[in-house]
Structure 1
Amino acid sequence: MAIVVEQRENAVAEYKRILAKVLENRPSGTRQRLAVALGKNRSFISQIANPSYATPIPAQHLETIFEICLFPATERRAFLDAYGRAHPGKVERRQRKDHHRLRPVTVYVPDLEDEAKNHALDRLLSDIAARIGKLTED
């Protein structure tokens, strides 16, 4: 039993290393775009891309990660292989669902001249976009 847990932990670290490598090779701002697309903070992106953290990447975020990070085919296959070893059956269940491609939309909003308020507005808009996305999945 302990061997299976260790193998899964190694597979989690492996797919996180692949994500970290892909992120390192992307333009500046990719982590922020990914955080916005997922409706999360940048610290969440740091956790899911750090092999030292055991925090798994939720399966529902995979397509968004692949899309925003522009995963090369080879890295995508390696990532999905490791993800499948770490979380047996989750990739197959996600692939059975109909996925919609994402597209970026730029929205210009007023600067509220307060970092906390601006951040709250950004989160609100991300949440609205995520909820709209969920409506299209049903």
Structure 2
Amino acid sequence: MADTAADEAPEAGAVAAYKRNFKETLKSRHSEIRLHLAHAIGKNRSFVSQISNPAYPVPIPVQHPNTIFHVTHFPPQAKAAFLRAYARAHPRRVGRLSEGSHERTLTLHLPDLGSAKRNAELDTLLQEFTRRLIGIMREK
């Protein structure tokens, strides 16, 4: 039993390490960066908070680091430290990071519907539509 706990500790520590790095980079950016990042990865702001909080064991999915680096403009030293810790935490995933993102960003200009609630509903509808459409296209 003790061996199992010892085997898990380095991974948990490495996850916390790359998350601390990510959190520090986020703190040094403008206040809306979490929202921009959430939109870029197709998630909500609470997900960004979870994956950037070292206290939560939720790992950053392998498809997101490249987008995170792009959106948050990670400094080169912070990116290198993040990648080292990510490789320690997820040795089988690290090779997939070098594949790069196979996504692109499209900016849409939409009318202001006169209400924050209605604007958010439209944004959510378009994001969900896009995720579902891409899912269908990837099924082949």
Q: Under TM normalisation by the shorter chain, which class is it?
A: 0.7 to 0.9
- Paired amino acid for 2:5: A
CA distance in 1: counterparts of 2:133 and 2:25, whole angstroms = 28
Q: How does 1:75-114 map to 2 (within 5 A)?
A: 75-95=78-98, 97=99, 99-100=101-102, 102-103=104-105, 105-111=107-113, 113=115
Q: Who wins on radius of gyration, i.e. which is larger?
A: 2
TM-score (norm 1): 0.83
In structure 2, stretches of 5+ residues that fail to align are none
Q: 2:126: which partner in 1?
A: 125
Please say if residues 39 and 123 of structure 1, whose CA atoms lie closer than 8 Å, have aligned partners that are also in contact: no
Q: Which runs of 5+ in 1 are unaligned?
A: none
- Tell me how far apart the structure 2 counterparts of residues 93 and 73 of structure 1 sit (CA, whole Å): 19
Cα gap change, 1:114 to 1:66, in 2 (>3 Å):
closer
CA-to-aligned-CA distance 1:7-52 (integer Å, 9 cap, x gap): 1001010000000000011112110000111111111111111000
- Percentage identity across aligned positions? 40
Q: How does 1:1-138 map to 2 (within 5 A)?
A: 1-95=4-98, 97=99, 99-100=101-102, 102-103=104-105, 105-111=107-113, 113=115, 115=117, 117-130=118-131
After superposition, the CA RMSD in angstroms is 2.4
SS of structure 2 residue aligned to 1:59: coil
Q: Determine which structure has greater relative contact order: mean sequence separation of CA pairs < 8 Å that are 6+ residues apart, divided by chain length.
A: 1
User: How far is the alpha carbon of 1:122 from its aligned partner?
Assistant: 1.3
